[in-house]
Amino acid sequence: MRSNIMKEGPQRAPQRSLLKAAGLSDGQIRRPLVGIANSFNEVVPGHVHLDKVARAVKDGVLMAGGTPLEFNTIAVCDGIAMGHEGMRYSLCTRELIADSIECMARAHCFDAMVFIPSCDKVVPGMLMAAARLNLPSIFVSGGPMLSLDMGQGPLDLNSVFEAVGALNTGRITEADLALVEEAACPGCGSCSGMFTANSMNCLTEALGLALPGSGTIPAVYAGRLRLAKATGMQVMALLDRGIRARDILTAQALQNALTVDMALGCSTNTALHLAAIAREAGLSYSLEELNRISAATPNLCKLAPAGKHHVQDLDMAGGIHAVARELSKLGLMQENCLTVTGKTLGDNMAAASNRNEAVIRTPDNAYAPQGGLAVLFGNLAPGGGIVKQSAVSPKMLRHSGPARVFDSEEEAAQAIQAGKIVKGDVVVIRYEGPKGGPGMREMLAITSAIAGMGLDEDVALITDGRFSGATRGAAIGHLSPEAASGGLIGLVEGGDIIDIDIPARQLSLRVAEDEIARRGAAFVPPQRPPVIGYLKRYAALVSSADRGAVLALEGDD
């Protein structure tokens, strides 16, 4: 056992004394020490119940003969942080979470790890830590929030954001907004659509690092606690067999995750996070590969925001392994990949079935022959820009229009609320990238306001920042290089024509090269408010979005 180096022999009596001070008996100290990385807090609805999930995990570890030792990480609620300064502190926490878990696990010589994430940046942060530590590791999420139907269709967090836009244009009353506000988020769990949190939790299953059901069983179901107990027991089986995180997190497993991603129509943020996870695992990853997999993978599910179904519906239909089984009919899954069950993905899929073909369509009845995400390239995005094409109206798959340029999310929000954006416009929001923001803010308030005003089929948005997984419409983010790093998006002027061709994977500024050169020679960057503390350090080290917005020192690849 790895922990023996800090607990065995006379010379380790001081360490054993300290463990006893924490309440551990000699018998507990002799057993394998299992770190339980829990993101519980009392702020985030996706995390308020994780103390109970952790208790169930620890019961499972105890039943299987291990000693569980729980510690906590931070977690930011993107919904609460949305639309103000707080959103700068979302993506950057991914690195803090990975670093803090590394520190705890290495310092205390844990033999194995159980990770309990729920929301947006916590899942990839913990996956990065798992790859970095390369210990026997397993994940169990807090599960999705339920979606309620109050008579006008199922609700979720995005319903509230869009209702605000509808109120601004007089389409609903304040009383209507209040009703949506009360019902849209009925309890604990990660927001109920295929937004970023649920996307990443589902992809953790596809990677093979979580037991079946981890991504889809609703947070309030008793099955969530039973799964947590099984997870605690299973980490001991992984330890006994010497199966470590990178034995599972292989290039083939990453391909499986990307394939399931395309079939589900996951958040655009998965492209950002899978790049960061691949880097930690020493795996190659490119946005061109994402396009290749998307081109070969049918879109089988339309969960909110792309459609009316929610993750609870996906769970009832058979979950992630049922989706994978449908994809296997086309030979798209790498079925020999090892998983935390101790069996292969193919073995796991054999136990799954598609119980509702309205939720999980079969390949011969797919929503589209291509996957949910697309990467666009062109002079505006030599390094790529990401769009959730499965949530784009067919009429907006190709669009050309005049640029309406804003140097911050706040400027764009003011213009939208004032009715200054009209049909045909291309809203350009820059200096919101990883370095320029800093922090690469999500802009759900912007996209939802446009949708709530009924303009989502007539207005496109492009940005070097990000869009929430709850976003729908022609919203293209992650433009690389970003404005703060000299990207062409920084030279766009109001009225310039921007050409968007999602099927052709093209995003271009229709301005002559000599004019672009003239603008570049005369360019003076706008004055930005100074940043301090962690954001200052983050801005100095963060890479571009196409590299996963990871922290990179000089000389790093």
At 384-422, the pLDDT tens digits run: 999 999 999 999 999 999 999 999 999 999 999 888 999
First-to-last C-alpha distance (Å) of the chain: 33
Residue 112, pLDDT score: 98
pLDDT for the residue numbered 555 = 60
Our answer to whether residue 485 is catalytic in this structure is no
Query: Which CA distances in Å does 69 have to 7, 34, 236, 436?
Result: 15, 6, 14, 39
Taking the C-alpha atoms of residue 41 and residue 515, their distance in angstroms, rounded to an integer, is: 52
Tell me phi and psi for residue 478, to 5 degrees: 65, 20
**E-strand spans in 215-282?**
none
Task: Identify the segments of the chain with pLDDT beneath 50.
Answer: none
The pLDDT of residue 99 is 98
Neighbouring residues of 432: CB distance < 8 A, sequence distance ≥ 6: 408, 409, 440, 441, 443, 463, 464, 465, 466
Specify the pLDDT at position 409: 92
Report the distance separating Cα 50 and Cα 97, nearest Å.
16
Peptide bond into 402 cis (omega under 30): no
CA-wise closest residue to 392 among 333, 326, 467: 467
Name the nearest CA neighbour of 384 among 207, 549, 201: 549
The per-residue pLDDT for 177 is 96
Let me know the angle formed at the C-alpha of 478 by 92 and 418, rounded to the nearest 5 degrees. 95
Backbone angles phi, psi at 45, to 5 degrees: -60, -25
**Which pLDDT belongs to residue 557?**
58
Question: What pLDDT is stored for residue 554 in this prediction?
Answer: 63
Strand bridging mode 373-378 / 398-406: unpaired
Token pair for residue 367? 């929503």
pLDDT of residue 417: 85
**Smallest Cα–Cα separation from 512: which of 377, 376, 379, 406?**
379
User: Of these residues, 147, 214, 468, 480, which one is catalytic?
Assistant: 468
